[in-house]
Chain A
Amino acid sequence: MSTTIVISIIMTILIAATPILLASLGELVVEKSGVLNLGVEGMMLCGAVCGFGATVATGSLLAGFLAAMAAGVATAMIFAFLTLTLSANQVATGLALTIFGVGVSSLIGKPFVGRTVGRLEPLLPAALSDHPVLRVVFGYDILVYGAIALTAATAWFLTSTRPGLILRAVGESDSSAHAIGYPVIAIRAAAVAFGGAMAGLAGAYFSLALTPMWADRLTAGRGWIALALVVFASWKPGRLLLGAWLFGAVATFELQAKAMGATWLAPEFLAMLPYLATVVVLTLISMRRAGAEGSAPACLGKPFATA
């Protein structure tokens, strides 16, 4: 009995962590290139609704996820055009992008409210994925594994490949990179596009895997948590994984406490927990100043203009 509960808690944590991990991986790459895109939540919502719509229209989950990524990229490109081409303020544009995403997703999603689709199934055959104990390892859908693999891939890309080195260089000193002859704007645009694709995918994980349905503001602020997580992880992919699991655990605690009918704490407070944890973690990190500042890309959030 208790093993079953532990296993199901672990599984819930890993699953709840997956969309946060996907979105924050994307944002990590964006921030490493020196761009601060606060529009993660908006891109996630656009991905969630477009993915859902595409799956409703075609019946294919693959089509849904691809459409979600495309939608994320498209939204991100609006951001890229405004901030990179026109040198608009990144913070203001990112906030506007989120508001835009909330509105557009609500508009597109109007006809889908209340509809459901078949959810993303576990990757491996039932013999493994439904096994009472082994399912803790084998019982997940492809994106749970994919997100973990992508974490490793991102870490490898940033530290050990030449494009990764160039990306970091652009984030550390855009003027130096430009002086050497790297196309700063193009590299940043590519990073922003990647961030959009990952946010779109994360959004679709909500609408096609977690709760296979559409509702307004389905992602419920998880985009903000993904943003906080990047800082929490000091821009290191490995720590991103730990952080995502931590937030997954807090979110799971909230669900479990509700399910067990905990009355000692008002449900509103339970719902607050993940966000409260975000605030606490960000505060703690910023108190440890040297650590956080030392690892932030030096050009983060600063517009680059060719002089």
Chain B
Amino acid sequence: MAAPPEAPPLLELAGIGKSFPGVRANDAISFAVAPEEIHALIGENGAGKSTLVKIIYGVQQADEGVIRWRGAPVAIPSPKAARKLGVGMVFQHFSLFEPMTVIENIALGFDHAIDRRELERKVAQILSAYAIPLDPRRTVHTLSVGERQRIEIVRCLLQNPKLLIMDEPTSVLTPQEADRLFDTLRQLAREGCSILYISHKLGEIKALCDRATILRGGKVVGSCDPKQESTRRMAEMMIGAELKTVARAARAGGGQERIAVAHLSHPAPGHFGVALKDISLSVRAGEIFGIAGVAGNGQTELLLALSGETRSAPDMITLDGRAIGAFGPGRRRRLGLCAVPEERNGHAAAPDFTLAENTVLTARQRLGLVEHGFIATAKTRDYAARIIERFAVKAHGVSALARSLSGGNLQKFIMGREILQTPDALIVSQPTWGVDAGAAAAIHQALVDLAARGSAIVIISQDLDELLTLCDRLAVINEGKLSAPLAISGVSIEQIGLLMGGVHGEAAQRREERAHAPA
């Protein structure tokens, strides 16, 4: 890609290549970031975005190719070298230390010792210059994800970066938090700092970025001005095929109530857990019910309570009128309630089991995969093969270890394992987390089809777009409390955002209580 004509590029990549055993992660990638430009790097999962930015930040080394910084070739052997050049990075998975304070975490981001008082002064300066709300004395584990991200940003800003790399920064933010972040980024760009923005959310790239480079299968497949291009066109460049839209038949609203949760409360399970407070909801046959919220507000605990991993009083949860609150996951599954937890490796699947063996974990009761106490190997292999075929899972057959699959592919497998059992009720957390757009559409379609057959589905997700596409009604979970359900047809993103508690201070809290009040 040619550099924008008016200025010499700040960063220029020429022919960058990187291979891992069995995968060509980056292949002859060339593009340039101009000074003061907000440059988007978009692509599906596995397109090579993460590898590429790790190379720019010195976490990994390219096998071939040249990196030029202000026109001169440079070697970036370590993150330290990258920071020295003026490259800062905010990781998708934050590099924070939970039991330490904000200021300690910031101090750890420095390459040299720094006087504590001096540091506090500098941090206060940055916080006020960019209007970032953050208390430097708090311990990280008490902070929301949005606040944690601000620590990372402050860390970077303290180094006076010339280029700031943001890796999927909004995947964990409420809409309001995301807007606040965009304001900060725009201010930074105005002040002369280029931004390399990695995302697959095309809407925000359209709103924020000046240029976009599109990656697919480790190669650059195009570039565009996102303000001119339609999101649909960009999505199609990303996946290299035409985008399918989820076909949703109009549903008869008056199905029978299948799942009912009544005044479910549960104490916080551990140090960092969230207590569930008086949660009530009801899902009818054929209905998809969404639960929105910022991560860490009780979603995990709610999923465990619904799946049966934590038990409650019998009549707090009913399935088709039957009190199942005191039953464990196995019994609930036999009765027709299946669940998919958020964590794929180690919770939804055993990483060192083969895919066939993993089917036994949750499908043995409903599909009879265990006969007379023995695993029916042929049946498990058949079932695994069916899932692989039906959900286009990329794996080396049914004997592949679960850990050998990429996150998105394992997610497809796990979703398929539950959906193909045609459960009467399905609880899923983050059904398309880390799954590329094409596969996400397939999973969404499968969920809609399952509902059409009369199942009741609960989707716990942080992806509002996903919930708005799929659900009939949704409620927002915040600090372990569930809001009154809202019909999708009459709800705005702002309204949901406020319920998520994304706006700091009392106002959001009051508004939330008001939303609860009429219920």
Q: B-contacting residues of A (Cβ < 8 Å)?
A: 162, 165-166, 168-169, 172-173, 175-177, 179-182, 289-290, 293-294, 298
Contact = CB atoms under 8 A, between A and B. Distances in A.
Interface stretch (B96-104, B258-266, B274-282): B96-104
Interface in B84-117: 91, 93-100, 104, 107-109, 111, 113
Given A162-B107, A165-B100, A181-B83, 5 more contacts: A168-B97, A169-B97, A169-B100, A176-B94, A180-B108
B78 interface: yes
Interface of B: 58-59, 78-80, 83, 91, 93-100, 104, 107-109, 111, 113, 270-271
Contact of B100 (A168, A289, A293): A168
A293 B270 contact: yes
A165 B104 contact: yes
Contacts of B270: 289-290, 293
Contacts of A173: 95-98
Contacts of B78: 181
A181 B108 CA distance: 10
Residue of A162, A179, A180, A289 with most partner-chain B CB within 10 A: A180
Contacts of B113: 162
15 contacts: A162-B107, A162-B113, A165-B107, A166-B108, A173-B97, A176-B94, A176-B96, A177-B108, A179-B91, A179-B95, A180-B108, A181-B58, A181-B111, A289-B270, A290-B271
A294 B98 CA distance: 11
Contacts of A168: 97, 100
Nearest to A160: B116
Nearest to B104: A165
Given A166-B108, A294-B271, A179 B59 contact: yes
A172 B98 contact: yes
A165 B59 CA distance: 22
A172 B99 contact: yes
A176 B97 contact: yes
B95 A176 contact: yes
B72 to A, nearest CB: 22
Top 6 closest A-B pairs, CB basis?
A176-B95, A181-B79, A179-B95, A172-B97, A162-B113, A181-B80
B123 to A, nearest CB: 16
Given A166-B108, A290-B271, A180 B95 contact: yes
Contacts of A165: 100, 104, 107-108
A302 to B, nearest CB: 13
Contacts of A172: 97-100
Contacts of A294: 99, 271
A216 to B, nearest CB: 42
A173 B97 CA distance: 6
Contacts of B93: 175
A39 B107 CA distance: 34
Given A166-B108, A290-B271, A293-B270, A179 B79 contact: yes
Contacts of B94: 176
A180 B79 contact: yes
B397 to A, nearest CB: 25
Contact of A298 (B83, B98, B104): B98
A228 to B, nearest CB: 22
B200 to A, nearest CB: 21
Residue of A162, A169, A181, A289 with most partner-chain B CB within 10 A: A181
A290 B269 CA distance: 10
A272 B270 CA distance: 35
Contacts of B59: 179
A181 B95 CA distance: 10
A110 to B, nearest CB: 45
A235 to B, nearest CB: 11
Contacts of A175: 93, 95
Contact of A293 (B58, B111, B271): B271
Contacts of B111: 181
Nearest to A291: B271
Nearest to A176: B95
A290 to B, nearest CB: 5
A175 B113 CA distance: 21
Nearest to A298: B98
A165 B105 CA distance: 9
A166 B104 CA distance: 10
Contacts of B100: 165, 168-169, 172
B107 to A, nearest CB: 7
A242 to B, nearest CB: 22
Contacts of A182: 108
Nearest to A183: B78
Contacts of B79: 179-181
A136 to B, nearest CB: 39
A119 B211 CA distance: 77
Nearest to A175: B95
A108 to B, nearest CB: 42
A170 B169 CA distance: 24
Nearest to A181: B79
B216 to A, nearest CB: 23
Contacts of B107: 162, 165
Nearest to A173: B97
Nearest to B78: A181
Nearest to A295: B99
Contacts of A180: 79, 95, 108-109
A293 B98 CA distance: 13
Contacts of B98: 172-173, 298
A242 B132 CA distance: 44
B108 A169 contact: yes
A179 B94 CA distance: 9
